[in-house]
Amino acid sequence: MILPKSNRLTPEQLNAVTEIVTEFGCKIQPIIGAVRTIYAIVGDERDELMINRLEGLEYVDRIDRIQSPFKLMDIRSDLATHRIRAGGVTLGEELFVIAGVCTIDPKNPNYFYETAAAVKEAGAHMLRGGVWKPRTNPYTFQGDVKSLDILLEGAQRTGLPVDTEVMEEAHVTLALDAGVTALQVGARNALNYSLLRAIGRAIAERDTIVLLKRSMHMGSINEFISAAEYIAAFGNPNIILCPRGTAPTLDGYRNHPDESITPLLKEKTWAPVVVDPSHSVGKASYVPACALAAVAYGADGLCVEAHVSPNHGIGDDPKQSLLPAVLAETIRQAKQVWALRHLARKN
């Protein structure tokens, strides 16, 4: 829909607009109002180049799109009935929990093994553990490929599927070859379209899951869903959206908590939403409330950092990891909130 700056387009302006849309196989249908005339684009209006050209006309105020820019992740797509299953849970049918350390310490693997057993006991369905880490400072610990074996050993010991972050194509290959179930795209790489494409290509023929974090710089909901579309375009739609807080921070929190975008996402996409309260608020004492808020907003699950001894952890663990007992209580309460929401929906 084309909204002109003035009340209607002049005949010359209408001609110019018609010429552009015709080039892209569309037509213009004026909708004449008492005060203002607007112009419907009839046809497939998803071509970005056509929209850019129309938006570039000085007499066009804005273009409102009727069609969704995402073909696969859209709530109206045929994939809307697609369900993702992991760790014995079908997302959307039961609260799904990913938990584990921020960063595996390759020098002290027992902390990871003990944490793995503890998060399973607390009720987690998937085990997280950072092998490669995106760090602000290049001199801090960047991860270690040796941790991949530790991660998979944790999977073996607990029977839980595992999630780990991949930052480059080589990590994707190593993680898939090792048997990682969920590839995490971190907030810093959620706008890295060549990585998103490489992941899409690598998992096209597999049932691998992608946990796609929201970039701290992603303002719009469409931008987030479009990032998922990049991966799904190759054929595997197992993508979970993970809000984890945005920039600028909310004074006192690590990021600006964004669990409240869950219902906005759910209006536009069928993709499950698993909120990460740990990176959102960034301090263990604030995490449980954020987790409960996420479920109240309609999240399908949670991704929570936990550690048997946070002070002995590396990466984010000393600040934001929950002790297993706190994780267990948070999951128990989150399930209650989940039940209330689903009861409310049925009535």
Examine residue 102 and tell whether it contacts ligand PEP (CB under 6 A). yes
Residue (74 or 276) nearer to ligand PEP, CB: 276
Q: Which region, judged by CB under 6 A, interacts with ligand PEP, from 6-14, 114-122, 185-193, 198-206?
A: 185-193
Pairwise CA distance, residues 169 & 193, whole Å? 12
Pairwise CA distance, residues 319 & 21, whole Å? 55
* Single-letter amino acid code for the residue at 173: T
Closest distance to ligand PEP from the beta carbon of 18 (Å): 46
Contact indicator for 268, 74 with CB cutoff of 8 Å: yes
Closest distance to ligand PEP from the beta carbon of 244 (Å): 4
Residue (186 or 288) nearer to ligand PEP, CB: 186
Cα–Cα–Cα angle for 310, 313, 318, nearest 5°? 50
Q: Which region, judged by CB under 6 A, interacts with ligand PEP, from 51-59, 78-86, 183-191, 283-291?
A: 183-191
Per-position x/- string for 292-331, each x denoting binding to ligand PEP as judged by CB under 6 A, each - no binding: ------------------------x---------------
Pairwise CA distance, residues 76 & 64, whole Å? 18
- Please select the residue that binds ligand PEP; options are 120, 213, 266, 307, rule is CB under 6 A: 213
Pairwise CA distance, residues 114 & 106, whole Å? 14
Residue (41 or 104) nearer to Mn ion, CB: 104
Closest distance to ligand PEP from the beta carbon of 204 (Å): 24
- Please select the residue that binds Mn ion; options are 21, 84, 91, 102, rule is CB under 5 A: 102
Q: How many residues bind Mn ion (CB under 5 A)?
A: 2
- Please select the residue that binds ligand PEP; options are 120, 171, 244, 307, rule is CB under 6 A: 244
Q: What does DSSP assign to residue 132?
A: B
- Please select the residue that binds ligand PEP; options are 4, 129, 130, 301, rule is CB under 6 A: 130
Structure tokens at 235: 């054929």
Examine residue 279 and tell whether it contacts ligand PEP (CB under 6 A). yes
Examine residue 186 and tell whether it contacts ligand PEP (CB under 6 A). yes
Give residue number: closest CB to Mn ion.
Answer: 102
Pairwise CA distance, residues 275 & 136, whole Å? 22
Closest distance to ligand PEP from the beta carbon of 188 (Å): 6
- What separation in angstroms does the CA of 21 have from each of 31, 37, 224, 248, 319? 16, 18, 28, 39, 55
The 10 Å Cβ neighbour count of residue 94 is 15
Pairwise CA distance, residues 330 & 147, whole Å? 28
Residue (134 or 159) nearer to Mn ion, CB: 134
Q: Which region, judged by CB under 5 A, interacts with Mn ion, from 68-76, 96-104, 105-113, 163-171?
A: 96-104
Among Mn ion, ligand PEP, none, what does residue 256 contact (CB within 5–8 Å per kind)? Answer: none
* DSSP assignment of 268-320: HB-S-BEE-HHHHH-SGGGHHHHHHHHHHTT-SEEEEEB-SSGGG-BTTHHHH
Among Mn ion, ligand PEP, none, what does residue 307 contact (CB within 5–8 Å per kind)? Answer: none
- Please select the residue that binds ligand PEP; options are 41, 187, 195, 198, rule is CB under 6 A: 187
Ranges assigned E (strand) in 35-174 = 37-42, 60-63, 85-86, 89-90, 96-103, 126-130, 162-165
* Single-letter amino acid code for the residue at 333: Q
List the helix and strand counts (H, then E) for the chain.
12, 14
Among ligand PEP, Mn ion, none, what does residue 244 contact (CB within 5–8 Å per kind)? Answer: ligand PEP
Binding site for ligand PEP (CB under 6 A): 102, 130, 134, 186-188, 213, 244, 276, 279, 316
Give the footprint of Mn ion on this chain (CB under 5 A).
Answer: 102, 316
